[in-house]
């Protein structure tokens, strides 16, 4: 594995468990971390001894993304790794799905991934540093589920975005890959348990057992730490051999 020490890692969606754990894991490996969320401070990582800055950004806003990438460059000169992780979930039957919610989902997941990618690629190409771009997909990048049409559509889109970046980025030593976690018990999932229980007319415990974890091999949630380990692996992989790929970490819910 390449050393991540001294590398600059830009992570979006860090106010919650998955992004936070990824940011901490990179900091523990000695990386400089730029943590980007709707509003955030880097105090926690700084207090634990890591080099970090926090930037406030709506990843679906073109101007804001460009501004925070410049802030990262002012702080650390370069960006070596982008982890595009910010995301939301809105569940609804298709026939009742509000168009505004559909657009919000695509904006945060796909526009956000595109805007951060474009800004970071420009920088990596200008600096001739190459780098690694990692998207937070989902098992829902591979298959569909009831009530999640917008999320599933957006998460599938990330796989093809990664392949496009891989093809265009390879000559600049820019790699792109996707992490596809199963359910991780975060506020995003807690909200879904409640919403699905209401929509399906079953208890929250039944949603977990009979919907979310039904297809796993052991009835276990994936953890943020599991996801962070895959992010490290993608970031540190030493060649273009691992490019345009998507890796599922889901306790066997989805097997490729
Ligand atoms: P979460 O809701 O707990 O956290 C999402 C983070 O994204 C929050 O910090 C939020 O502030 C931030 N965010 C939302 N909109 C934003 C915007 N417009 N600009 C900047 N930041 C924004 O979610 P999570 O469960 O930690 O999910 C993180 C990522 O992992 C998401 O992309 C999600 O789709 C993906 N994922 C989650 C699970 C899971 O089971 N929790 C499984 C597979 C994939």
CATH code, domain carrying 75: 3.40.50.720
Whether 95 is in a domain gets the answer yes
Mean pLDDT calculated for residue range 17-42 = 92
Number of structural domains, the chain?
Answer: 1
Q: Which of 24, 114, 151, 221 is catalytic?
A: 151
229 phi, psi to nearest 5 deg = -65, -40
pLDDT 10s digits, 61-83: 999 999 999 999 999 999 999 99
pLDDT of residue 119: 98
Mean pLDDT calculated for residue range 229-240 = 97
| Residue 110 CB less than 6 A away from ligand 1 | no
Mean pLDDT calculated for residue range 225-249 = 97
How much is the pTM?
0.96
Angle between helices 62-76 and 112-127 in degrees, nearest 10 = 40
6: which DSSP letter? T
| Residue 188 CB less than 6 A away from ligand 1 | yes
How far apart, in whole angstroms, are the C-alpha atoms of residue 167 and residue 244? Answer: 8
**Taking 80 as the threshold, does the pLDDT of residue 44 lie above it?**
no
Mean pLDDT calculated for residue range 47-62 = 90
The Cα angle at residue 9 between residues 222 and 159, in degrees rounded to 5? 55
224: which DSSP letter? H
Is the separation of the CB atoms in 192 and 91 below 8 Å?
yes
Mean pLDDT calculated for residue range 97-102 = 98
| Residue 86 CB less than 6 A away from ligand 1 | yes
- 151 as an active site residue: the answer is yes
Domain containing residue 18: 2-184+223-249
Protein residue with least CA distance to atom 18, ligand 1: 58
Whether 62 is in a domain gets the answer yes
Mean pLDDT of the chain: 95
| Residue 55 CB less than 6 A away from ligand 1 | no
pLDDT of residue 127: 97
**Taking 50 as the threshold, does the pLDDT of residue 1 lie above it?**
no
How far apart, in whole angstroms, are the C-alpha atoms of residue 129 and residue 254? Answer: 35
Please report the sign of the dihedral spanned by the C-alpha atoms of residue 146, residue 147, residue 153, residue 158.
Answer: negative
Entry field: residues in the chain: 256
């Amino acid at each position: 594995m390449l050393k991540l020490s001294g590398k600059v890692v830009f992570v979006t969606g860090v106010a919650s468990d998955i992004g936070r754990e990824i940011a901490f894991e990179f900091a523990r490996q000695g990386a400089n971390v730029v943590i980007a969320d709707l509003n955030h401070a880097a105090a926690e990582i700084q207090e634990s001894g890591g080099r970090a800055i926090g930037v406030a950004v709506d990843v679906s806003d073109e101007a804001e993304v460009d501004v925070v990438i410049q802030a990262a460059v002012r702080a650390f000169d370069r960006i070596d790794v982008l982890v595009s992780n910010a995301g939301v979930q809105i569940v609804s039957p298709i026939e009742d799905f509000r168009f505004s919610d559909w657009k919000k989902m695509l904006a945060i997941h796909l526009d956000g991934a595109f805007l951060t990618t474009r800004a970071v690629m420009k920088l990596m190409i200008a600096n001739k540093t190459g780098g690694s771009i990692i998207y937070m997909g989902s098992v829902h990048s591979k298959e569909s589920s009831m009530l999640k049409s917008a999320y599933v559509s957006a998460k599938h889109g990330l796989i093809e975005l990664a392949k496009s970046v891989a093809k265009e980025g390879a000559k600049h030593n820019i790699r792109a890959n996707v992490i596809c976690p199963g359910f991780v018990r975060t506020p995003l999932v807690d909200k879904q348990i409640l919403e699905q229980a209401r929509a399906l007319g079953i208890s929250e415990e039944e949603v977990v057992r009979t919907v979310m974890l039904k297809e796993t091999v052991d009835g276990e949630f994936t953890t943020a730490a599991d996801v962070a380990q895959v992010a490290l692996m993608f970031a540190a992989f030493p060649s273009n051999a691992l490019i345009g790929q998507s890796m599922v970490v889901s306790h066997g819910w989805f097997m490729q």
